[in-house]
Amino acid sequence: MAAGLSPRLAAIVDALPLRPGLRVLEIGGAPGVAARAVAARIGPGGHILVIDRSATGVAKTERLAAREIGSGLLSTRCVAVEDFECLGDEGRFDLAFAVRVGALDGRHPRAGELALPRIRAALVPGGTLLVDGGDPLGEIPLD
């Protein structure tokens, strides 16, 4: 188990359909513990972008994942999912996932209504959005 990865988070990472070279968006991913485990599995040629609305959380992710950021496997952005847009040179993502994100787990439905079109636009056609709450993950349809 990766350093700092709880058994629950390890089960979530294990459930992600990861493969080398994948582009992954982690929503609400600070402090980056899951992202570091994902980066190890997608390896060179892959990339994970961690977004989080907390500047403090993003700064902590940047400290903890300095090696992965330096190697180009991981990047961060301080933004709420309902405001997220891919940057012009960023490219789209194959997979998005979120753990305990109120906009996606039903706690903040209005934010979810705003977030889903943003996520859909950030994913490649046929891309997948997975959130905790299944066994251990459930898919949110984006059609």
Say which residue the tokens 């898919």 belong to.
139
Q: Which of 91, 87, 93 is nearest to 26 (CA)?
A: 93
| Reported confidence tier of residue 75, pLDDT bands at 50, 70, 90 | very high
Question: Does residue 52 fall inside a structural domain?
Answer: yes
Q: What does the pLDDT look like over 18-48, one tens digit per residue?
A: 999 999 999 999 999 999 999 999 999 999 9
| Reported confidence tier of residue 70, pLDDT bands at 50, 70, 90 | very high
Question: Does residue 62 fall inside a structural domain?
Answer: yes
For the cut 50, the answer to whether the pLDDT of residue 112 exceeds it is yes
d(CA 40, CA 126): 24
d(CA 79, CA 90): 15
Question: Does residue 41 fall inside a structural domain?
Answer: yes
Question: Does residue 81 fall inside a structural domain?
Answer: no
Q: What does the pLDDT look like over 5-18, one tens digit per residue?
A: 899 999 999 999 99
Mean pLDDT across 46-66? 97
CB atoms within 10 A of CB 142: 15
Q: Which of 30, 25, 76, 16 is nearest to 46 (CA)?
A: 25
Question: Does residue 70 fall inside a structural domain?
Answer: yes
CATH number assigned to the domain comprising residue 59: 3.40.50.150
Global confidence as pTM? 0.95
| Reported confidence tier of residue 134, pLDDT bands at 50, 70, 90 | confident
Residue 35 tokens read as 């992202």
Mean pLDDT across 48-59? 98
Q: What residue numbers bound the domain in which 38 lies? A: 7-76+88-136
For the cut 60, the answer to whether the pLDDT of residue 1 exceeds it is no
State whether residue 3 is helix, strand or coil. coil
Mean pLDDT across 81-108? 94
Question: Does residue 2 fall inside a structural domain?
Answer: no
Question: Does residue 21 fall inside a structural domain?
Answer: yes
> For a pLDDT cut of 90, what percent of the chain falls above it?
89
Domain count, the chain: 1
Question: Does residue 142 fall inside a structural domain?
Answer: no
